[in-house]
Structure 1
Amino acid sequence: MTPFKKAILFVHRWLGFISGLVVFIVSITGCLFCFQDEIQDALYNYRHVEVQNKPYIAPSLLKAEALKGRKGATASYIYYYGIDRPAGVLVSVPKQGLLYVYLNPYTGKIIHTESPATNFFIIVEYIHLYLLLPAKVGQMVVGVSVIVFIVLMITGIVLWWPKRKSDRKRSFTIKWGGRWRRVNYDLHNVLGFYATSIAIILAITGLSIAYDWVREGIYNAANLGKAYPEEKAVFKSDSTLIGKADTTQVIDKALLAARAGSPKAEMYLIYDDATKTGAIGVTAYAQTLHYYKSDSYSFDKYSGKLLNRTAHEQKSAGMKMNNMNYDVHVGQILGLPGKIIAFLASLICASLPVTGFIIWLGKRKKTKSKKVKTVVHRRTVRQHLPTEH
C-alpha cells in the first residue's frame, strides 16, 4: 500500500470510529421513515375520508372547531391534504404543547387528535434529526456525523478502487461462496460502492433540511450565482385596517383565491401569521403529500388583497431544487421505485459501520496473532542456537 493510501486508510478508519454509531442510527431511522405514509395509511383509518360532492368546509370553521374547549390555544397552520384525506390543524396548547387535530374537510367533524410525542414515525423523525437530544445539540452531532460520512464514502471509494482492469470484475461482485470474513469484506466494499452516489445525495439533502447554509449553497449553485431577490422577499400587510378589521373571513377568501389560481392542486397549506403586521400564506401543492411542485400565495391579513403569487413555473432553478429537497431525501421524487432505492441505500449505509468494524476487528486479531507467532519463533530459534563455552 502506498503512503497516500495508508494516510487515506488512517483517516477512513478513525472517522468511521467517530461517526459510526450516529451514522447507524440516522440510517436505520431513515429506512423506517421512507415508507411512513404508506404504513400509516394502512394502519390508521383517520388518514382517509369518504369523498363527497361538495366544497371543503372553510378554514376559519376548521380552526374554530380545533380550538374549541382549549383555552389560550392558537393555530397557525391548516392543511387540506386531498379530496380523500382529512384536513389537519396544528394547535399549540399552553402547558401541553402541540396537537394535531384531524377533521373531516366536508363536515368539519373532528376524527382524530394526537400529540406528536405519541406518533411512532414522528419520534423516528426526531431521532433521525436530533437523536432525541436537545435540538441544537442533536442537530450539531447529526450534522457533523453526516459531513464525516460523506468524507468516509469518498475515501472508501479511493481505498477500494482496483488498480488493474483484471481485478475490476472481481471487485464489483460479492463472493458469496467465500469464508464469512471475505463475504463481510465484500459487503462493506461492494455494497458501499453501489450505494455511494445515492448515499451522498441523501446526505446532502438531509444537511439541506437541517442547515440554512447548505440550502443556500444548493440555491446559489443551481442558479449559477444569479440573484433572485423577489424570491426572498417577505410580504407584510400594508393595510390601514391593522387592528381594526375582522380577519376571520380573510383566511377563507385566501383559500378560495388560491384554489381558483391553482385548480389542479391536490393539497393546500394555509399559514395564518399570528403577528399584527403579518400576512396569510397559502401553498398549493400539485400532488398530495409531495412537496416539490407548488404555487405560493401571500395575502394581506386585514384586507385580503393578494400581495404576491409565485407559480412553480416562475421559480428559479435554485428555488425548485430547494422545494424538491424533501421529496428527494425520502425518495418519493421518483415514486415507489425511488422510495425503494432510498430505503435500500439507507439500509446499506446502516450496515457499513457494522461491517467496517468487523473488518477492523479481524485485522486487529491478525496483527496480534502475527506478533505472538514472531515471539514464539524467536524463542524457539534461541533455544536451538549453539551455546558458547
Structure 2
Amino acid sequence: MRVIDLLHRWLGGTIGLLLAVLGVSGALLVHKDIWVGVPGARDAQVQDTAALAAAAERIMSGPDRPRSIVFASKSFGLDRLSYEGQRGAYADQAGEIVTRWNSQWERPEIWLFDLHHHLFYGDTGEMVAGVAGLVGLGFVVTGLILWWPLRRSYEFRLWPRAASRFPILRHHRDWGVVLAPVLALSLVTGSIMVFRPVANLMLGPGAAAEVDASLEPPPPRKAKLADDLDWAGMIATARRLHPDAEVRILSLPRGKSGLVSLRLRQPQEWLPNGRTTLWFAADTGELVHARDALKLPPRAQAYNALYPLHAAKVGGLPYRLVMTLSGLTLGLFGTLTVWTFWFARKPRQRREPRPA
C-alpha cells in the first residue's frame, strides 16, 4: 500500500499540471459550438441536396480551392474550409466566405483543439497526451485502492474545507471517488484514440487490426485532380445511396491517392461526421468505392463510438455537463495536487538534542 501511495503522489506531483491542461481545454471544447463568435454560427443547418451542391460548386470552383469542406452541423451553422498549412475559413451555407485566417493563433477554437490533442507539438505531443491519459487512468485505479481503507471517513464536499494541505487531500480523495467512473471514461476513450493497441485491451484481442482494416481507404488510383469535377453530381450520388444521411465532409485527394472522399453521417451513427464514406475518381468524378459504416464489424463500430463519448457529441446537454464536470475536476485535481505536493508542505522541525 505504501508503494502505491508513493507512486500516486509522486506521479501526480510530476504530471498534474499536464492533466489539468488537458482537462480544462477539453471542458472548453465540449461547448465550442456555443462560444465561437462568428456571424452565422447560429444559423439553422441546411441539408437540402440542391443547396449543398450549389455551395460545394461555388467553393470548389473558386480560384483558391480548399483541401476540404466540413459542412455545417445542427449545432454550428457555418461550413469550415481548410487550406494548405494553417490557413482556413468559415463560409455560410451558400458558399460565401465569412472570415479567413492564416494561422491557427487567429482562432481560439483551433489552437485550443491543437493544445488538447497535440499539446502544440504534432504527433509527439499527441503521444505525450496519450501517455498522460494512461497515467491518469492509473490514478483513478490507485486512488480507489487508497480510498478503500479510509472509506468510513468519507465526506461529500464540492470544495475543500480549507486551502491547506490535509483538507485538500481529503477533498481530492472523496470527490475523486464520486467522479471515478466519468474520469475513467474520459481517460480511457482518449487513450484508445491515441494508442490503437489499447483497443485490444478494451475491445478484445485483434481489435486494433480489425479497426485498421475497416478504416483502410481503397487502393490509390493514378488520377490527377480535374479542374471541373462535378461536385454536385457527387453529392447527388451520395443522397441517392443514403437518402437520410447528412453530408458532412468533402475532401480532395490525400497524397497520391487519386480519390476524392465524401463522408456522410447516417442517423444511427454517433460520430458527428460519420464514417459512411464514398470515394470518387479525382479525374472523372465517377464513384469508385462506397463504405457503409453500419455494416462494419461490431468492434469497428464500437471504436467509432469512442470519440462521441469522449467529446460529449451524444447525450445532449446533460452529458455535456457531465463531461464538463469531468474536465474541470481533472483541472482542479491536477493543479491542487502539484501545489500541495511541492509548495504546501510544512517544513519538518528539527528536534533539539535532549540534555544528558
Normalising by structure 2, we get a TM-score of 0.83
Report what 2:243 is aligned to: 263
| Conserved? CA contact 1:250–1:302, under 8 Å | no
Q: Which runs of 5+ in 2 are unaligned?
A: none
| Conserved? CA contact 1:237–1:302, under 8 Å | no
Report what 1:39 is aligned to: 35
- Secondary structure of the 2:93 match is coil
Please state if 1:18 is matched with 2:5: no
- Cα distance in 1 for partners of 2:246, 2:117 equals 28
**Amino acid corresponding to residue 80 of structure 1 in structure 2:** F
**In angstroms, what is the RMSD of aligned CA positions?**
3.5
Match of 2:108 among 109, 120, 125: 120
Q: Of the two structures, which has the highest relative contact order with CA contacts closer than 8 Å and spacing of 6 or more?
A: 2
- Cα distance in 2 for partners of 1:223, 1:211 equals 14
Report what 1:221 is aligned to: 204
Q: Deviations over 1:116-159 (max 9, x none)?
A: 32111211222223333x32442333233222222222111111
- Secondary structure of the 1:302 match is coil
Deviation at 1:197, TM superposition (A): 1.9
- Cα distance in 2 for partners of 1:180, 1:44 equals 40
| Conserved? CA contact 2:17–2:335, under 8 Å | no
Deviation at 1:27, TM superposition (A): 1.5
Report what 1:111 is aligned to: 98
- Secondary structure of the 1:268 match is strand
**Amino acid corresponding to residue 171 of structure 1 in structure 2:** Y
**Amino acid corresponding to residue 55 of structure 1 in structure 2:** A
Please state if 1:7 is matched with 2:12: no
- Cα distance in 1 for partners of 2:159, 2:237 equals 61
| Conserved? CA contact 1:157–1:193, under 8 Å | yes
Looking at CA atoms only, which structure, 1 or 2, has the larger radius of gyration?
A: 1
Residues 1:26 and 1:221: Cα distance change in structure 2 (over 3 Å): same
What aligned pairs does 1:285-324 form with structure 2 within 5 A after superposition?
Answer: 285-286=265-266, 291=272, 293-324=274-305
Match of 1:146 among 117, 122, 133: 133
- Cα distance in 2 for partners of 1:302, 1:226 equals 32
**Amino acid corresponding to residue 299 of structure 2 in structure 1:** G
- Secondary structure of the 1:129 match is helix
- Cα distance in 1 for partners of 2:158, 2:100 equals 52
Normalising by structure 1, we get a TM-score of 0.76
Q: Which runs of 5+ in 1 are unaligned?
A: none
**Amino acid corresponding to residue 92 of structure 2 in structure 1:** N
Please state if 1:78 is matched with 2:78: no
Report what 2:264 is aligned to: 284
Residues 1:101 and 1:64: Cα distance change in structure 2 (over 3 Å): farther
Q: Percent identity?
A: 17
Deviation at 1:266, TM superposition (A): 3.3
- Cα distance in 2 for partners of 1:361, 1:178 equals 20
Report what 1:98 is aligned to: 86
Residues 1:252 and 1:155: Cα distance change in structure 2 (over 3 Å): same
Deviation at 1:218, TM superposition (A): 6.9
Report what 2:175 is aligned to: 191
Deviation at 1:344, TM superposition (A): 0.5
Please state if 1:325 is matched with 2:312: no
- Secondary structure of the 2:314 match is helix
Structure holding more helix per residue: 1
How many residue pairs end up in the alignment?
A: 349
- Cα distance in 1 for partners of 2:133, 2:209 equals 29
Residues 1:112 and 1:286: Cα distance change in structure 2 (over 3 Å): farther
- Cα distance in 2 for partners of 1:123, 1:203 equals 21
| Conserved? CA contact 2:211–2:299, under 8 Å | no
Deviation at 1:341, TM superposition (A): 0.6
What aligned pairs does 1:238-387 form with structure 2 within 5 A after superposition?
Answer: 242=223, 246=226, 248-273=228-253, 277-286=257-266, 291=272, 293-357=274-338, 359-360=340-341, 364-365=345-346, 368-369=348-349, 372=350, 375-376=351-352, 378-379=353-354, 382=355
- Cα distance in 2 for partners of 1:114, 1:254 equals 28
